[in-house]
Amino acid sequence: ERVDGHGGVLLPGFVDLHTHLREPGREDTETIETGSAAAALGGYTAVFAMANTDPVADSAVLTDHVWARGQKVGLVDVHPVGAVTVGLEGTHLAELGAMADGVAQVKMFSDDGKCVHDPLLMRRALEYASGLGVLIAQHAEEPRLTVGAIAHEGPTAARLGLAGWPRSAEESIVARDAILARDAGARVHICHASTAGTVELLRWAKAQGIAITAEVTPHHLLLDDSRLQTYDAVNKVNPPLRESSDCVALRQALVDGVIDCVATDHAPHAEQDKCCEFAQARPGMLGLQTALSVIAATVVGPDGLDWRGVARVLSERPAEIVGLPDQGRPIAVGEPANLTVVDPDAEWTVSRSALASLSANTPFDTMTLPARVVATVLRGRVTALDGQVRYR
């Protein structure tokens, strides 16, 4: 098939290391099919589906099921992320080996906070993962970690009386897990780095030769805590939007390579879970269809990334981190490829109701953003073209 690229930029297909599809358990907010459509339209050819489904993805039966569903839909490779621990309680390690050896060949494990409370559990998880050659992804976003009611930093949050969600919660876990990974000889990946202090810890850990990698979300690059003034829960996310100085530090770290890649943390939520009191609302934002444009708006430019750099942070580095063999590498002529065509000169206005996700919780609604995905190609087959999904 021939695709008119409209003179755009040809990039390797994007790889998202951090996507929440809600299947199984909350198919009213996103399914593997609707999330795959959003991913294809956003230029992605691989997404890593987080383990915090219901039931939790803590066994090969479930991780293989998620992989098979994604293949059946056929729009994007849906790689399941396995849970490090079993069930919602999460006090015991899961059979990481069985998930790694399954059909899905799980490459990354995460546990949404259980190991945050238990350094011994984290150490054992890292030792197990190290032997298997797989990666542990840490969500260092646990607010209860910090003793007492330290206010969520920043004048805005303090004035608004928002509950504690301090940067010390994130930074202390990043430091702890860097050291645990060093001693376990394991690889650890820091999800959604959100503070300038985390950037400094990553710089330190990498300088020590520790096998640590990190991602930043588009929303933490673009949005700061001034958005919280309205108490609109669309801006509630874990970790929270920080100060504008954090955004600046995160952007620079991405450009410098201290932060390896961009991951969306695409987190669909139902209207009723977002329109209640700020304190009760669920945290999370949509991200798959807006990621490229937010990156273009924040880090692409003369002092930032060129399009080669965009290929690095959206495709090549994430593929390397999880060890996807044929993603983000130069391909021979005639070989089926994963590709994304981007129009760098386009502008578009985000409309929450026009997104492919089953949910509508985008913080970018009504914003006019630069750059747009024109086409996505998965193993030589067009999965999205000019804003339309192409099913097999």
Among residues 13, 42, 90, 284, which is the contact residue for ligand DOR, using CB under 6 A?
Answer: 284
Residue 118 beta carbon to Zn ion: minimum distance, rounded to whole angstroms: 10
| Residue 103: count of CB within 10 angstroms of its CB | 12
As given in the structure block, the two tokens for residue 158 are 């303090």
Report phi then psi at 320, rounded to 5. -65, -40
- 35, 42, 154, 283: which one binds ligand DOR (CB under 6 A): 283
Torsion of CA 79, 311, 268, 21, to 10 degrees: -10
- Comparison of 172 and 359: residue with beta carbon closer to ligand DOR: 359
Site for Zn ion in 206-265 (CB under 5 A): 265
Q: 70 or 283: whose CB is closer to ligand DOR?
A: 283
Give every CB contact of residue 39 below 8 A, 6+ residues apart in sequence.
Answer: 16, 19, 47, 75, 76, 288
Contact call for residues 195 and 171 (beta carbons, < 8 A): yes
Q: Please report where in the chains the tokens 């930074």 appear, as a residue.
A: 171
Where in 262-281 is the site for ligand DOR (CB under 6 A)? 265, 267
Query: By rule CB under 6 A, what string of x and - marks binding of each residue 46-75 to ligand DOR?
Result: ------x-----------------------
User: Of residues 128-147, which lie at the interface with ligand DOR (CB under 6 A)?
Assistant: 139
Task: Say whether residue 237 binds ligand DOR (CB under 6 A).
Answer: yes
Q: Using alpha carbons only, what angle is made at residue 94 by residues 90 and 95, rounded to the nearest 5 degrees?
A: 175
For residue 164, the partner it binds in ligand DOR, Zn ion, none, with Cβ less than 5 to 8 A by kind, is none
Q: Please, what is the minimum distance in Å from the beta carbon of residue 282 to ligand DOR?
A: 6
Strands of 44-49's sheet, edge to edge? 14-19, 44-49, 77-80
- Asked about 112 being catalytic, the answer comes back as no
Contacted by 113, from ligand DOR, Zn ion, none: CB < 5 to 8 Å by type? Zn ion
Max CA-CA distance within the chain?
61
Identify the bridge partners of residue 215 per DSSP, sorted by sequence position: 261
Specify the residue, 65 or 139, whose C-beta has the smaller distance to Zn ion. 139
- Taking CB under 6 A as the rule, does residue 20 contact ligand DOR? yes
Residue with smallest beta-carbon separation from ligand DOR: 284
Check residue 79 for interaction with ligand DOR (CB under 6 A).
no
Q: Strand 368-378 vs strand 381-385: parallel, antiparallel, or unpaired?
A: antiparallel
Nearer to ligand DOR, 13 or 240 (CB): 240
Q: Which does 52 bind (CB under 5 to 8 A by kind): Zn ion, ligand DOR, none?
A: ligand DOR
58, 111, 265, 273: the active-site residue: 265
316 binds Zn ion (CB under 5 A): no
Does 113 interact with Zn ion (rule: CB under 5 A)?
yes
Cα–Cα dist 114/57, whole Å: 14
Which tokens belong to 83? Answer: 């849970």
Q: What angle do CA 300, 301, 305 make, to 5 degrees?
A: 50
CB 67 within 8 A of CB 104: yes
Rounded to whole angstroms, how far apart are CA atoms 322 and 326?
A: 12
Catalytic residues: 265
Q: Point out which residues bind Zn ion (CB under 5 A).
A: 113, 139, 142, 265
Q: Point out which residues bind ligand DOR (CB under 6 A).
A: 20, 52, 139, 237-238, 265, 267, 282-284
